[in-house]
């Protein structure tokens, strides 16, 4: 049986990914802070799964929780690093910024290190990191969120290079969603996809071990435009 771990499985993209991977026969380790949500999810899935409460903002504790879960499960081949927080930053509020930095950067990097080291020692495996199209933006509306996701995308590029140097069959997948209808997104911004549709595009990309994907696919063109956009225009728009 294939085994995978989803960090940030209690809501949104992570929850739906658990539903769609379990339907493909995966046995899952489900991780987040809200234990009752994870238990509800686990009991709704076919098969038996593992549930672990962890706060990614406490990086070293989350590392221990992930290592223990890997050991308990026995043969994990896929780890999805999905936990993330984000919101518009109408005023500069350090508490909000710090949480984004702690979860999206410190926690993300800490768990990537555990995952990469485990797969190196195992000889193969697959790390999937959820970034954002916001990684291609640097504007005043959400400067911290964009910067944290730029870190995620850049860091995963580096990990992909390391996987290549290792000559081991370790895959690193960067996922850059546009807008997906989850509790993180307020209102209905342009091109908001249902979470079912977005994850239905994510699952085959995981199974086919893609290096970099956008969900939904049309956001590739937005990222391309953002990369070409002069800074003065970026400042005016965002």
Ligand X SMILES: NC(=O)c1ccc[n+]([C@@H]2O[C@H](COP(=O)([O-])OP(=O)(O)OC[C@H]3O[C@@H](n4cnc5c(N)ncnc54)[C@H](OP(=O)(O)O)[C@@H]3O)[C@@H](O)[C@H]2O)c1
List residues binding ligand X (CB under 6 A). 8-14, 32-34, 37, 54-57, 82-86, 103, 130, 132, 177, 179-180, 182-185
**Minimum CB–partner distance for residue 122 and ligand X (Å):** 24
User: Is the Cβ–Cβ distance between 181 and 194 less than 8 Å?
Assistant: yes
Distances (CA, A) of 184 to 12, 13, 19, 176: 8, 10, 19, 15
Min CB(87)–ligand X separation in Å = 10
The smaller minimum CB distance to ligand X, of residues 159 and 180, is found at: 180
Can you name the residues that pair with 68 across neighbouring β-strands? none
What Rg, from alpha-carbon coordinates, does the chain have?
17
Among residues 169, 188, 170, the alpha carbon closest in space to that of 179 is found at 188
Q: Pick the closer one to ligand X by CB: 55 or 120.
A: 55
Q: Measuring CA to CA, which residue among 104, 99, 156, 85 is closest to residue 126?
A: 156
Complex with ligand X: residue 3 or 11, whichever CB lies closer: 11
Q: How far is the CB of 54 from ligand X (least distance, A)?
A: 6
Nearer to ligand X, 74 or 183 (CB): 183
Q: How far is the CB of 166 from ligand X (least distance, A)?
A: 26
Toward ligand X, which CB reaches closer, 9 or 163?
A: 9
Closest distance of CB 124 from ligand X, Å: 25
Q: What is the DSSP string of 128-150?
A: EEE--GGGG---SSSHHHHHHHH
Residue closer to ligand X (CB basis): 124 or 237: 237
- The span from the first CA to the last CA of the chain, in angstroms, equals 46
Query: Which residues touch 204 (CB under 8 Å, ≥6 apart)?
Result: none
| Cβ at position 157, least distance to ligand X in Å | 17
Can you tell me the distance from the alpha carbon of 104 to that of 235, in angstroms, rounded to the nearest whole number? 24
């Amino acid at each position: 049986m294939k085994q995978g771990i989803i960090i940030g499985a209690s809501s949104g993209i992570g929850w739906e990914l658990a539903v769609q991977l379990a339907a493909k026969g995966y046995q899952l380790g489900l991780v987040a802070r809200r234990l009752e949500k994870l238990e509800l999810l686990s009991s709704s899935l076919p098969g038996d799964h593992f549930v672990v409460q962890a706060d990614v903002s406490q990086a070293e504790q989350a590392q221990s929780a992930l290592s223990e879960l890997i050991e308990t499960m026995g043969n994990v081949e896929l780890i999805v690093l999905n936990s993330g927080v984000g919101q518009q930053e109408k005023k500069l509020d350090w508490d909000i910024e710090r949480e984004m930095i702690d979860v999206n950067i410190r926690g993300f990097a800490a768990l990537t290190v555990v995952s990469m080291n485990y797969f190196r020692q195992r000889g193969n495996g697959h790390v999937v990191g959820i970034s954002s199209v916001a990684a291609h933006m640097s504007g005043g509306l959400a400067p911290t969120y964009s910067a944290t996701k730029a870190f995620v995308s850049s860091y995963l590029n580096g990990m992909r290079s390391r996987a290549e140097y290792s000559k081991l069959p370790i895959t690193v997948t960067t996922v850059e969603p546009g807008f997906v209808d989850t509790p993180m997104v307020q209102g209905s911004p342009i091109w908001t996809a249902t979470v079912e549709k977005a994850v239905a595009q994510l699952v085959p990309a995981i199974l086919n071990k893609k290096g970099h994907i956008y969900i939904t696919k049309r956001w590739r063109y937005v990222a391309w435009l953002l990369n070409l956009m002069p800074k003065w225009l970026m400042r005016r728009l965002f």
